């Protein structure tokens, strides 16, 4: 502490936060691996990667919801979107979200519109929980970067 103020966050604080999210089962170790790949040449790589995920996934979830609320469900387009979200979740190591999208894909494969709607709601709940943690992680990393 300096003058009663807490010490600024460090890279180790970010790594500990990532380990905590891994322990909670929200992430596997892939996002931590990406964090460790960060270089002086591209210090924003980690933050940018998460921000792309956080911007893209809600739009895709909304598109899936729109498809499912149609009288005629475009299952081909729905499958593309499910695979896109699952791939995005896998890309950053969002373990819990990947599991939720696997359930959504299963509901799609058995052609259950109501099952897809329920599974999509679960994907959204898991994403919202993950978003809260990832927003906090971005803020922490920006504080580390600012010092």
- Averaged over successive runs of 10 residues, the pLDDT of the chain (147 residues) comes to 73 94 95 85 86 97 97 93 97 96 96 95 98 96 86
Task: Indicate whether 83 belongs to any domain.
Answer: yes
- The answer to whether position 19 is within a domain reads yes
Distance between first and last Cα of the chain: 15
Q: Is residue 1 part of a domain?
A: no
pLDDT at residue 99, as a whole number: 96
Give the number of C-alpha atoms closer than 13 A to the C-alpha of residue 142, restricted to the C-beta side: 10
Q: Is residue 84, in this structure, part of any structural domain at all?
A: yes
pLDDT score of 2: 56
3-state secondary structure 106-145: HHHHCCCHHHHHHHHHHHHHHHHHHHHHHHHHHHHHHHHH
Please report whether residue 122 resides in a domain.
yes
Q: Looking at the 3D structure of the chain, how many domains does it have?
A: 1
Give the count of beta carbons closer than 10 Å to the beta carbon of residue 125: 12
pLDDT at 41: 76
Question: Domain for residue 17, yes or no?
Answer: yes
- What per-residue confidence (pLDDT) applies to 3? 65
| pTM metric for this prediction | 0.90
**pLDDT computed for residue 7 by the predictor:** 81
**CATH number of the domain residue 110 falls in:** 1.20.120.160
Residue 3 lies in a domain: no
In a domain, 39, yes or no: yes
Cα separation, 68 vs 65, whole angstroms:
5
User: How high is the pLDDT of residue 37?
Assistant: 84
Question: How many CA atoms, within 13 angstroms, populate the side-chain half-sphere of residue 5?
Answer: 5
Adjacent-strand bridge partners of 145: none
Contact 116, 70 (CB under 8 A): no
- Dist CA 68 CA 64 (whole Å): 6
DSSP 26: S
Instruction: Specify the DSSP class assigned to residue 42.
Output: B
- pLDDT score recorded for residue 86: 97
Q: Structural domain of residue 35, as residue ranges?
A: 11-146
């Amino acid at each position: 502490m300096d003058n009663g103020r807490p010490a600024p966050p460090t890279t180790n604080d970010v790594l500990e936060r990532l380990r905590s999210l891994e322990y909670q089962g929200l992430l596997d170790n892939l996002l931590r691996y990406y964090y460790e790949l960060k270089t002086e040449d591209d210090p924003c790589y980690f933050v940018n990667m998460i921000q792309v995920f956080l911007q893209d996934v809600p739009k895709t979830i909304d598109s899936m919801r729109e498809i499912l609320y149609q009288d005629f469900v475009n299952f081909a387009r729905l499958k593309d979107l499910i695979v896109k979200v699952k791939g995005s979740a896998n890309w950053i190591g969002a373990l819990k979200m990947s599991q939720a999208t696997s359930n959504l894909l299963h509901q799609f494969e058995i052609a259950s519109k109501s099952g897809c709607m329920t599974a999509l709601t679960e994907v959204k709940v898991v994403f919202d929980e993950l978003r809260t943690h990832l927003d906090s992680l971005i803020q922490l990393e920006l504080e580390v970067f600012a010092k």
